[in-house]
Amino acid sequence: MLLGCKFSMETTSSFLLATTLLINWLWHGQECLQLPPKLPDSLCFPLPLRFLPLLQDQQEYQPLSQRGSSEAAVRLLPQFRVKSWADAFGGELYSVVTKYSGSLLLQKKYKDVEPTLKIKEVDGLELVKKFSEQMESMLRRKVEAVERLVEAAEDADLNHEYNSSLEFDYYNSLLINEKDENDNYVELGDEFILEPNEHFNNLLVNTTYSDIQLPTNVYNKDPDILNGVYMSEALNPIFVDNFERDPTLTWQYFGSSTGFFRLYPGIKWLPDENGVISFDCRNRGWYIQAATSPKDIVIIVDVSGSMKGLRMTIAKHTIVTILDTLGENDFVNIIAYNDYVHFIEPCFKGILVQADRDNREHFKQLVDELQAKGVGTVNKALTESFKILREFRDAGQGGLCNQAIMLITDGAVEDYEAVFEKYNWPDRKVRVFTYLIGREVTFAPNVKWIACNNKGYYTQISTLADVQENVMEYLHVLSRPMVINHDHDIIWTEAYMDSALFASQAQSLLLMTTVAMPVFSKKNETRSHGILLGVVGSDVPLRELLKLAPRYKLGVHGYAFLNTNNGYILSHPDLRPLYKEGKKLKPKPNYNSVDLSEVEWEDQDEILRTAMINGETGYLSMDVKVPVDKGKRVLFLTNDYFFTDISGTPFSLGVVLSRGHGEYILLGNTSVEEGLHDLLQPDLSLANEWIYCITDIDPDHRKLSQLEAVIRFLTGEEPDLECDEELVQEVLFDAVVTAPMEAYWTTLALNMSMETEVGVEMAFLGTRAGLMRSALYVGSEKISNRKFLTQKDKESIFTMDHFPLWYRRAAEHPPGSFIYSIVSEDDSEGGGLPKVVTVSTAVAVSVDGKMGIAAAVGVQIKLELLQRKFWMAMQQPNDSDCSALDGACPLSCQDDILNCFLIDNNGFILVSKRPAETGKFFGAVDGSVMTQLLNMGMFRRVTMYDYQAMCKVPYHHHSGARPLLSPIYAFLAAVKWLISDFLIFLLEFNMSSFWHSDNLADAKAVFHHSHKHKKHDILQPCDTEYPVFVYEPAIKETNGLIECGDCQKMFVAQQIASSNLLLLITDAACDCSVFPPVLLDVKEVNLAHNTSVKCERMRSQKLRRRPDTCHAFHPEENAQDCGGTAEISVSPTLLFLPLALLLQ
């Protein structure tokens, strides 16, 4: 054992000096070395004997008792050795990547044109106002199209006389082009020409005609349907005319209050795997928002003993259906009552909560757990509901418009008139809607009386199939005041996912907003009834809106985003609406209720959120941490946020520019002739998601790539093309400046030595104008990462949302210095160990003291090339003369007692003696050294948050363990299921409905779904935190000793010049497993341990801006139109009801 001396760890030289100050634990005892004057004896500490070879000069610093004697042959590591390895490797690496990327040539070319360049500072406020005006103009055109459809629909209804015996054939979207066994078209399924259309994501459509979709539970020849479809035929020419006037329009449609959906352009609608079409336009957010004003709803459900069995199932389905009719402008709570009153979510006691998707899904889970028992007393529940609604109304909270109570019960026998007299009469500010569950009619007059005396509506629901139609009645009642007054409010929805497009994988148009308006009956004889005919709407893909905020004007890290009046994200580059379950992509349950504060989470005081919700115009600056590379790395930026509202909508627009080079635009000048020549080079491409020229309006232009469109625009071949001249000019300039790179790369490729330079595969560059060039140094079949620079690897190309990752990272590294990034296991083709390294550097220009990033350039090399260069630099020359050292050669990385690593600035391993460690985080491999590097400040831990994560929740089957208790019980349970569920299935649907095969399919689907149990863990939205580790570049070298119990572990870290890499040498022989690994663990931010904190968060009401209009009551509305007893059809299955309930 040795004693060494403590030392300053600022430089490697100080480490090597200190390691020479060793004390040998001799058999004679412990002696101290003769120390230099500035180091006191008291600094001595134990040091492993195996590191005696670190002595630079044995003769100068030997133990006093051994001076002059000959030690056993020991291999030495001179003090300059680690740094010389790093310098040798760094120099060799720099030589390879500069040569094959051509970075020095590109820097020179941009330097040569600096005198002709202008760097303009972007005025963020002016930019956001300009973008907002353009978006307002675009959205206004959509509104005008919808207004023309509303006018046409109302005029058609005014001129249509209802005919109960009408016979009329129409194009049914499910049946079109279907033939029977005799090769004849089926009824309602005539020939309907469908062609792929690029504007509609290559879906098969008919742009000359619309067709009709109906949900499975709506009979396609019902007289109401036939009359509505016949009347709405008048919309066909308006659809076509709208599309001709504004070719940027996408889907246009009319959703009828009777349940049919007229869609233009016409498509073939496919049922789900159960043969069912569940899409009902009346359930969609755009329909409900247009049909009603904001509403505060309290749902009261009877959970007394009489509600057991089928009644409870129907009641639960009714609640879920009501919840599905609510949106983010509505507020809700649910009260269950039997012997006592309880809020199904105790945390929401006494309040209303916003009916966003999160809260609705939470309520649905709680509703599913309700159980029937006890005796029902409705008075207390009604009293509690009226109190909540009054308190919210008086406090100016909630929707401040419609208020309603939904009473779901199988009977009411109390004297409840006193409750209404005290809380609701005579003003009747709260409507009461009643739903009588079951076939029993004894209590029907009582339950109807409650609704009719409180401006509500009464329905009786006896089967699951009845729920949808009966719940929708309340929407018609709430729409009456607006209909009578003929107020055509324009509504815009939150972001939502187009399910048809999602199923077709056309995901570039995935997120939509809809502009919608209600359609009313103008007939005087029905005015007091306030008949809502339906809703007209048109979709606006959000990406189309963001095309009006060009990427090139926002800089390397800049972006634009949109949010709603409720603070929810409409569009944001960091919004992740999909998640992967197995191999399938699915929409997250809360994808459209992600709050601005959950994406821009650095805005902890919600200053930005508040200003944007209030529709203000302004500016804010924030220091932000931006996760990149799937959260493994982070960029530290200062962002300037500019924001304003979009007039005529509930939306606000934000534009983000990163401080420094992100707020400058480079303006170069070149002739069209010179630039056009260089644009035609084969190695050049343009960002195809950027809009250099508008190609999606004229059908003749839709097949053109952006590069083809620019060339045709410049040559005059397509004079009708509308192009962004500023962006085209930048492209021309960049094409000229970067043109010499093609010849340079080609010459290198022809002269490559296959022996010495195996592993350099590709060179590439990108400019701020979205121009890219690339060259292959190997045959395309030999490329290790074929996804790179293609649509399959979005992170490596210019998109609407971001610059390439290699460009973004290089921009935040000193120009001329290279960023090395190993392709992770997930990204490498075929999985397995990483095979390639992407290397890039930024090219900067300076004009009048302003620095801008003009381009980034790099190479992609095989990892084995990097490893080969590394081990060559780390080994001793074969002809090393060690005679002067008594035959003892210095230590090298070939020695078993040393581990040598090459890691990047985020701690990921590029080279290790053990190939399996490649790509792994170093802290997971060696926790002791990583801990020391963190303690010494060479690395720091940065905590990041993800408020859009999905976490696994173990699946628990309520009765999963019970059959294990008794084999007899298992048998009885099986019999019970067979009898009771089959009988209930029969009861859920009237036998008469089975004459219609559509309804049979619907029944089959419900039955199938109710008995389909998931066995795997469920993923659900959650908040998580995770660490990112970042190297501190100011510390270029460090070293240390780690006390590991029985031994001490040495390590040395040395920066590799002109890179983001570090050479790390550690002691391999000392077992330091007493230190746990440092892991990149993702942890759920779980508030469950603190119930009060969790509840407070759930109850919190974030700032929101209410819609501008409200239609709650109208003096002319016919309040006596309040529903009636449904006809009760006698079914033989009723005979089995007692048995079924008994078995329940």
CA distances from 628 to 859, 920, 1076 (A): 20, 17, 27
Q: What is the pLDDT of residue 1089?
A: 52
Q: What is the pLDDT of residue 454?
A: 95
Pairing of strands 402-409, 295-302: parallel
End-to-end CA distance of the chain: 78
d(CA 690, CA 547): 8
Q: Is the pLDDT of residue 827 over 70?
A: no
Pairing of strands 491-492, 458-461: unpaired
Q: Is the pLDDT of residue 988 over 90?
A: no
d(CA 2, CA 8): 19
Q: Which residue has the higher pLDDT, 849 or 583?
A: 849
Bridge partners of residue 205, in order along the sequence = 195
Q: Is the pLDDT of residue 8 over 80?
A: no
Q: What is the pLDDT of residue 877?
A: 58
Q: Is the pLDDT of residue 33 over 80?
A: no
Query: Which pair of tokens denotes residue 1015?
Result: 């066995």
Average pLDDT for residues 1111-1117, to the nearest whole number? 85
Starting at the edge strand found earlier in the chain, the sheet holding 633-645 runs 569-571, 559-563, 652-658, 633-645, 618-628
Query: Which pair of tokens denotes residue 32?
Result: 């101290």
**Least confident range of 125-139, 361-375, 429-443, 865-879:** 865-879
User: Minimal CA–CA distance to 284: which of 320, 327, 224?
Assistant: 327
Q: Is the pLDDT of residue 999 over 60?
A: no
Other CB atoms within a 10 A radius of the CB of residue 910 amount to 21
d(CA 692, CA 728): 6
pLDDT band of residue 78 (cuts 50, 70, 90) is: low
**Least confident range of 169-178, 213-222, 584-593, 764-773:** 584-593
Supply the angle between the helices 124-158 and 236-245 in degrees, to the nearest 10.
160
**Least confident range of 74-88, 286-300, 537-551:** 74-88
Starting at the edge strand found earlier in the chain, the sheet holding 760-767 runs 684-686, 771-776, 760-767, 850-862, 836-847, 819-822
Q: Is the pLDDT of residue 23 over 50?
A: no
pLDDT tens string 194-229:
999 888 888 899 999 999 999 988 899 999 999 999
Q: What is the DSSP string of 743-809?
A: HHHHHHHHH--TTTSTTEEEEEEEETTSEEEEEESS-GGG-S-TTTTSTT-GGGS--SS---HHHHH
Supply the angle between the helices 725-738 and 706-715 in degrees, to the nearest 10.
100
Nearest 10 degrees: Cα torsion 264, 265, 267, 271: -30
Q: Is the pLDDT of residue 455 over 60?
A: yes
Bridge partners of residue 120, in order along the sequence = 665
Q: Which residue has the tokens 């709050």?
A: 595
Contacts of residue 641, Cβ cutoff 8 Å, sequence gap at least 6: 600, 608, 619, 620, 621, 622, 654, 655, 656
User: Minimal CA–CA distance to 409: which of 312, 549, 286?
Assistant: 312
pLDDT tens string 606-665:
999 999 999 999 999 999 999 999 999 999 999 999 999 999 999 999 999 999 888 998
Helix (H) / strand (E) containing 133: helix 124-158
CA distances from 397 to 88, 333, 732, 1105 (A): 69, 14, 57, 11
Sign of the four-CA dihedral 997, 1002, 1006, 1008: positive
Contacts of residue 679, Cβ cutoff 8 Å, sequence gap at least 6: 707, 710, 711, 714, 731, 732, 735
pLDDT band of residue 911 (cuts 50, 70, 90) is: very high
Q: Tell me if residue 220 falls in helix, strand or coil.
A: coil
d(CA 944, CA 533): 50
> Residue 443, CB half-sphere, CA atoms under 13 Å: how many?
19
**Mean pLDDT for the chain?**
83
Q: Which residue has the tokens 């491409």?
A: 685
Q: Which residue has the tokens 């233009």?
A: 264
- Chain-centroid distance of CA 442 in Å reads 52
d(CA 372, CA 980): 18
Other CB atoms within a 10 A radius of the CB of residue 868 amount to 14
Query: Which pair of tokens denotes residue 950?
Result: 């999905």
CA distances from 144 to 137, 149, 566, 754, 814 (A): 11, 9, 25, 65, 51
Supply the angle between the helices 103-112 and 81-101 in degrees, to the nearest 10.
60
d(CA 187, CA 203): 25
Q: What is the DSSP string of 628-669?
A: ETTTTEEEEEEEEEEEEE-TTSS-EEEEEEESSGGGEEEE--
Q: What is the pLDDT of residue 1016?
A: 57
Helix (H) / strand (E) containing 851: strand 850-862
Average pLDDT for residues 939-955, to the nearest whole number? 88
pLDDT band of residue 11 (cuts 50, 70, 90) is: very low
Q: What is the pLDDT of residue 755?
A: 55
Q: What is the pLDDT of residue 974?
A: 41
Q: What is the pLDDT of residue 744?
A: 96
Q: Is the pLDDT of residue 697 over 90?
A: no
d(CA 957, CA 976): 18
Task: Judge contact between 435 and 468, C-beta under 8 A.
Answer: no
Starting at the edge strand found earlier in the chain, the sheet holding 1083-1084 runs 939-953, 1018-1031, 1083-1084
**Least confident range of 63-67, 154-158, 553-557, 995-999:** 63-67
Pairing of strands 431-437, 458-461: parallel
Q: Which residue has the higher pLDDT, 100 or 59?
A: 100
CA distances from 416 to 136, 381, 382 (A): 52, 11, 9
Sign of the four-CA dihedral 712, 714, 719, 722: positive
Size of the chain in residues = 1144
Q: What is the pLDDT of residue 47?
A: 43
Average pLDDT for residues 413-418, to the nearest whole number? 82
pLDDT tens string 253-277:
999 999 999 999 999 998 888 888 8
**Most confident among 51-60, 642-651, 1034-1043 (mean pLDDT):** 642-651
- The CA R_g of the chain, rounded to the nearest whole Å, is 36
User: Minimal CA–CA distance to 1053: which of 920, 922, 860?
Assistant: 922
Supply the angle between the helices 103-112 and 740-751 in degrees, to the nearest 10.
160
Q: Which residue has the tokens 């957010």?
A: 285
Contacts of residue 1062, Cβ cutoff 8 Å, sequence gap at least 6: 902, 903, 904, 905, 1031, 1053, 1054, 1055, 1056
- Chain-centroid distance of CA 149 in Å reads 34
Ramachandran assignment for 140, one of left (phi > 0), alpha (psi -120 to 50 degrees), beta (any other): alpha
pLDDT tens string 959-976:
333 333 333 333 334 444
pLDDT tens string 484-508:
888 899 999 988 886 554 444 444 4
Bridge partners of residue 137, in order along the sequence = none
Task: Judge contact between 276 and 1010, C-beta under 8 A.
Answer: no
d(CA 26, CA 681): 74
| 803 phi, psi to nearest 5 deg | -75, 165
